[in-house]
Structures are given as structure tokens and as C-alpha cells.
A and B are shown apart, each in its own frame.
Chain A
């Protein structure tokens, strides 16, 4: 989509960023000791910590990614909401209190509490780094996606700005400022998401989302021998047509402007439906709907094709309650936009054609994950793999686990987890309404699925768009801060202090943490630029899978299986990290990034969890039994 820079947006955005930086400066004085820097002194109130948990967890993936995925694929995006929230059950019932009892600053501390093993320190630190970096990538991608429309800056500059601000926050004040940034951002995100949903419900469902919304045109066409010969409009001229599988696309010209249309049928008559197009010409010129970018003819889309209430077609429903809203959506027809790319002569054409989908298909799984029509064993396993990784991943995320060390007691750890579950649960329920709201109210940028929530806000006015975008930006700042604290703790505390046994004073430890934060931040910036085009939610799913494969077997077996040995833990972490990373590197999505055909990928799974999580558990059991036996024999 082509965005216009808004002064209001820049001002609101600037206020947010300056407030966050001011907060960091204020708390910097509390981060002079290692406990202050890594664990906020262990004295955060459980209520603040709970909301900060929510602020930490509700990342770009939750706000931008899930809403975008729901806006494009309906209920399949909501599966992430369900899985992400369900993961907190594992955290609360099994992990929260024991981890609080065992740990000090990092997840490696907890794992190593019983054994004091160097191999555990090393593997846990590496696992923390890998998971944190995989989680950082989508945050950075989301940052770039946001800054483009908000400030009119290119994606890479957005990533650099976020990276720089976060490095400043973490390097100056560590966990204390990170906690308060996450607390404020978590609270704002939930309050404004709620307000946005109220506005969506109050507006109801309309055939025309707004006065400014583009009116899509259909033209009657005349066919001969399967080719379009002309259209029933004197201004249009047929320039050619292209067949792509069962679909036929037609190129028309009007007043010197070319456009692409999809051939469809209305009863017995052939008709042409207007499509969005991005065409790259041989000389490098790119045309958006047939015109140069500066003409701003590439608009945001998403509308309802038919609304049925009590068996009758209506033009608008009026205000609706949440259940009535879902009901009406289910009984309506929604126009989604499906992408298709092909070459036409010397032109590279990318089309986004209208795809009318029954509402009942939108409010159930299947538009993204092929579970019904066209399902294969691999597509079903992919779904299972994702749901398994989401369920088991949350309680193994290092940046979430370290938040248990910021509260003073087990009881506080438990209470803050419940506050987190309640706040996060409310937010995830809202995602279904924000996503479908964007889908039917012209909240889609067909080029970028991550922008649906801010664009939905834009349909209610520029001020709300600016606030929501600034909150989304703060969302990224909060999560990235937590991730960088976790990663810098892994480097400075686990690797340098514990594994390499480098003698450091309290000040030296804090300094090492700050240097590590800068280094991790730079890596995150580079990766955020490379992965620009990926849906942030999908990328976070991968981070969950790595965490669940590498860390969860170690945590759970240490807590609940007495025969667990230090070798078992370090082997399980190593195998979990390597197997999940290996499957991801040979997955169809990564093949696409390499520029290869996704069909050639040797492992047709998008999410590695179904293989790598059981492998982590099996490795731990086998290695523990073998090494435990040897130790017993030696004794």
C-alpha cells in the first residue's frame, strides 16, 4: 500500500518514544548492581509484574501478526491466540513457582541449581540466545512495518530506530525500566484494543465500509473461443489475457491507464472483476493499479459482499453485540484478496484478486491451514506441530522465565502469572474482533499482513491510527527490551561469569551485560532487515518451537523426574536447538527466502515442533539413563 505521512502521527509517536526514554533514564540509577540490572532487585509488585508479563508477551506477533493473520485468513489466525494463551497454563501450573524457587537471574541458573554443571551453563546460554534472536526477528520486522506508514521511512530505517531505542533502554537501566515500559505498554495495548473493538461492534457490518472506500467495478465481457474479445463499456480496450491454472486474468486499458481484471461468471454471463495490481516493467518502472506510486492509487481494501440477517439481505446491520457480530459474519459473504504472481510478456505482474468467501468458512479453521479440502498428511501434521509448539513454548521462553525473578516470593510469582493470563486472555479474545473488523472495514494492506490492526484504527480516524501505531511501536519496544535483557544475561552472566569464570566486580557484570545488549541489538537489527517480508506471527511460531524443543524438556524433567542428569539436560538442549533449527532451515518457507522452490524443501513442515519436541524429551531420558547408570557404576 502507499502511505501518507501524518504530522499528528509523528507527534504522538515522538511523545511515546521520548516518554519511554525518559523512564529509562529515571530508572538507570537503580541498575547499578547485577540484581538491579538483571532482575529489577526482585522487588516488583505482583500486579505490576503481571501486567508487565502481558506487556512482555503481547509482542508484535500478538498485536500485528495475529490481527493481520485473522484479517487475511480468518479463524486460522485466532488459533495462535488460543495456543499462545494455553501455553500460560503450563507456565502457571508446572513452571512458575519451582522456577522462582530455583533461579536467580537467568533460566540457566534455575536449570543449573541442582548440578552446578558447566555444560548446562553453556547449552542453556546458547539456547537462550538462539530463542531470543528468533523472537527478536519478528519484533524488528514489525517495527519496520509500522514505521513505514507512520513516518514515511523505509523499512530498514524503522528497524534501526527501534533497535537503537531499545539498546538505549536496556543498556541504561536493564530490567527495572524494561518492567515499567512493559507495564505501561501492556496496559495501554489492552485498553486501546478494547476501545477499538467497541468501535468495530458499534459500527456493525456495512456493505460499504466508508465513504472513501474504493468501489470495485465489474464489467460485462464478451467471449469467443475462451478469449475475452471486448467489454460492455466504451472506454475500455482489451490488451491481453493470461491463464493461471483455472483462473483467467485480463489486461484492460482506459484513458492510457492499464488495469488487471479477473474473469468470472455471473449466471450465464461472463464478467470481469477489478483486481489490484503491481506491475514491474522492463525498464524498472513499477506501476500500482496502472499508475506511478506518487498518484496514490493503491488503496487499503477488505469488504463484505453480502450481509444476511434473518434470511434477508441487508446493506448494513447497525450496532452489534460480540456474539451477534460473529453470527452475522458467519452468515455473510466476505471479499478477501488473494495474491497471484506471473510474467506477462516482459512485465512481472502481481495481482490481488477478489475472492468471495462464505462467512462460515471465515469463522472456522481451514483458510490458511489446509485441514479439509486439499488436506494432506503434512498439512495436518503442520497444524498439530504449531498447536503443540504454542502450547509448550510459552513456559520455555527465556525472556518470560526471567520475569519470575523480579518478584519477591513464590506467591507473588503465581499471582502475577494469573494477572498475566487474565490480561492476555482478554486481549486474545479481542484479536478475533479486531482481525475480522479489519477484514470487513477496509483494513487490509494486501502487501503487508502485519498492518491490519493499525489500518483498522485508521478507518476510524487518523488520531486513533496514530495512537494505535504508537502503542504497537511501544509493544515492540517492550518485548524487544525483555528479549535483549534475557540474551545479554545469557552472554554476560551465564557465559562470561559462570561458564568462562571471568572474574568481574558487580559493576563489571553490569557493564558486561550492557555490552552484550548492544551486540545482541545489532544482530537483531541486521536480521530484522533480512526477514522484512515474513508475517511476524509465523516467525514467532518458530521461536516457540525452538524454545519448546530445547528448554521445556530440560525444565519439566528436572522438576518432575528424579533420574534427570546434567548430561541429560545439556544433551536435550543441544538436540532440541539443533533439530528444530535444522528443520526450519530445510522448510518450505526458508526455501522461498533462499530463492528456491518451496516444493523442493526436503522437510515439508513449516513448524518443527512435532519432530523436535519429542526428540528433546527422548534425548533427555536416554542420556540421563545412560549417564546415570555410568555414575552409579563408578560409585
Chain B
């Protein structure tokens, strides 16, 4: 038995473009996440500083990271779907 995928995926011409987008979005999120870890590790008191609406930096940054992941996921899906529809028209996935 070979190691073929269980279901056919067909030819997808948008793969290089989706890969580049994925790497870019991953790097962007990683930088934001690294900022959170760096502040927590090196400047823990700053996490207690009030920033917006009486909320401290820890709460705002923490919730922000979760919401950013969801938002970026939606944007990524929107763009990938558009690439697939445009580039695979006539011989799609």
C-alpha cells in the first residue's frame, strides 16, 4: 500500500501563493505572541499596568492574542478560498 491521501485532492495551482500567505501570517502572529512572552518574562510589572477601560495589559494582550488568532484565521480562509477559485477555475481542487 502506498502513502497516498485517503481522498483525492486534485491539482491545486494556488498552493505556492497560499503557502507564502501562511508563512507571512504565521510570522506576524509569532512576533505579536513573542512580544507577550517577552513582556511577561522581562517586565512582569508592566503586565499590571492599566491600558484600556481600566483593564490591565495582561488582560488586554491575552484576550487580544486569542481574538487576533480567530480574526487572522478568517482572513486567511477568505484569501485562500479566493486564490483557489481564481487559479483553479476550469480544473479546480
Contact = CB atoms under 8 A, between A and B. Distances in A.
Interface string A310-330: 000000000000010011001
Nearest to A111: B3
Given A42-B6, A100-B9, A363 B59 contact: yes
A625 B47 CA distance: 43
A79 B59 CA distance: 10
B86 interface: no
B1 interface: yes
A422 B63 CA distance: 13
A248 interface: no
Interface stretch (A52-60, A300-308, A365-373): A365-373
A39 B59 CA distance: 39
B69 A93 contact: no
Given A85-B65, A363-B58, A422 B70 contact: yes
Given A86-B33, A422-B73, A116 B26 contact: no
A366 B6 contact: no
Interface string B1-19: 1011111010010010011
A35 B6 contact: yes
Contacts of B42: 380
**Interface size bracket, A side:** 35 or more
Contact of B41 (A85, A97, A383): A383
Interface of chain B: mostly helix, strand, loop or mixed: helix
Contacts of A363: 48, 56, 58-59
B70 A421 contact: yes
Interface in A42-99: 42-43, 75, 78-79, 81-82, 85-86, 88-90, 92-94, 97-98
Interface string A99-122: 011111100010011001000000
A113 B93 CA distance: 20
Contact of A429 (B63, B72, B74, B81): B63
A85 B58 contact: no
B80 interface: yes
Interface of chain A: mostly helix, strand, loop or mixed: helix
B33 A391 contact: yes
A364 interface: yes
B89 to A, nearest CB: 14
Given A86-B33, A371-B40, A387-B37, A327 B3 contact: no
A408 interface: yes
Contact of A102 (B5, B36, B44, B48): B5
A633 B13 CA distance: 35
Interface residues of B, number: 51
B3 A94 contact: no
A88 B68 CA distance: 12
Interface in B44-77: 44-45, 47-48, 53-59, 62-63, 65-67, 69-70, 72-74, 76-77
B93 A410 contact: yes
Given A327-B55, A372-B45, A94 B22 contact: yes
Contacts of B74: 418
Contact of B44 (A39, A101, A372): A372
B87 interface: no
A327 B48 CA distance: 12
Nearest to B19: A98
A100 to B, nearest CB: 7
B58 A75 contact: yes
Contact of B70 (A35, A405, A425): A425
Contacts of A98: 19
A81 B59 contact: no
A262 interface: no
Given A39-B6, A101-B9, A421-B69, A364 B41 contact: no
A253 interface: no
Given A42-B6, A409-B9, A418 B73 contact: yes
B6 A360 contact: no
A85 B93 contact: no
B70 to A, nearest CB: 5
Contact of A109 (B3, B22, B25, B84): B3
Nearest to B81: A411
Interface string A350-381: 00000000001101111000011001000010
Nearest to A405: B6
A336 interface: no
Given A104-B6, A391-B33, A418-B74, A384 B41 contact: yes
* Centre residue among A109, A323, A364, A417 by max chain B CB count within 10 A: A364
Nearest to A371: B44
A290 B4 CA distance: 66
A273 interface: no
Nearest to A407: B7
Contact of A409 (B7, B45, B47, B58): B7
Contacts of A421: 69-70, 73
A86 B59 contact: no
6 contacts: A92-B73, A371-B44, A405-B5, A411-B81, A422-B73, A560-B23
